[in-house]
Amino acid sequence: MNAADEGRQQLDAASVLNAKRTLLQLLARAGVWSGDAEELIGLVEAGALALAHTEIGDGEDARSAPEERGELYETGWRDGTRAVSDRLADIAERTLRHALAPDPTVSSPDDRSPVGRAEMERAKVAITPLYLSYTAVSDLDPDATEQVLTAVLGTMSPRQRAGYPGRLTDFSTTHHARLERLYAEYGPGSAIAIHGRYSLVHSPTSVAVLERLTAAPKALHEEWDAAELPPAWLDGLTTAWGSAA
């Protein structure tokens, strides 16, 4: 062990497991089901590994070896970096699969499955700040959050649901100006605020529905019909989205 290693603070396997068990116990006391807690922790673990993979593969240190060491050293540096990066990617993939389907009898995380409670809660956490970045809380919110999100998430596989907050953020960034126009014209405070056809514009779920209308309209209509949600809500959002283009 060299001096640099001695100065690093690294957790051993027993300490990491202790922290995880402690967190599970604390979440259980707060009423979080153990399966949901395990899934959330697993997603954090997989995400940390994926971020480490990205940093090693794309970071400045990964791209350039010390110049004074020569070409042969640089070649070994790059080969070693690539090997570590690939290994981290494999571990991140395995960890994600385990988090999304810890039971071997469960379908592949690449296939659609019933929407889970943790998936629903993650979606709620993702949509609210995005919605509030465009408009305010509305007293006319139809309060059908879980029914709408069940239809939205039903268009995706567990793996896609795990990455849905990122997809929503990208959608919001790409269509920022268009979303601003939509909520200004049809949302809280607008001249048509009480029009039932546009009721869903008053709900944070509208951001998620709009993303699915753009990315997977056919699947969304199928899930919408299966959930027996009002067709007018979807038609209203479709009309509003088109007029805001």
Q: What are phi and psi of 228, to 5 degrees?
A: 60, 40
- CA neighbours within 13 Å on the CB side: how many for 9? 1
Pick from 49, 220, 205: which is nearest to 127 by CA? 205
Q: Are the CB atoms for 172 and 207 separated by under 8 Å?
A: yes
- The residues of the chain scoring below 70 in pLDDT are 1-8, 57-68, 102-110, 193-194
- Buried (b) or exposed (e) across 25-60, using 16+ Cβ within 10 A? eebeeeebeeebbbbbbbbebbbebbebbeebbeee
Quote the pLDDT of residue 64: 63
Cα distance between residue 43 and residue 101, in whole Å: 11
Specify the pLDDT at position 173: 97
Q: By three-state DSSP, how is residue 11 classified?
A: coil
Answer whether 235's CB lies under 8 Å from 243's CB: no
CA-to-CA distance for 76 and 81, rounded, in angstroms? Answer: 8
For residue 198, CA distances in Å to 130, 154, 235 come to: 19, 22, 9
Alpha helices in 101-230 (DSSP H): 117-132, 145-153, 158-162, 164-174, 176-186, 205-215, 217-226
Predicted confidence at residue 105, as pLDDT, reads 44
Closest CA to 109 of 93, 124, 120: 93
Q: What is the pTM of this model?
A: 0.73
State residue 8's pLDDT score: 67
Distance CA 180, CA 134 (A): 6
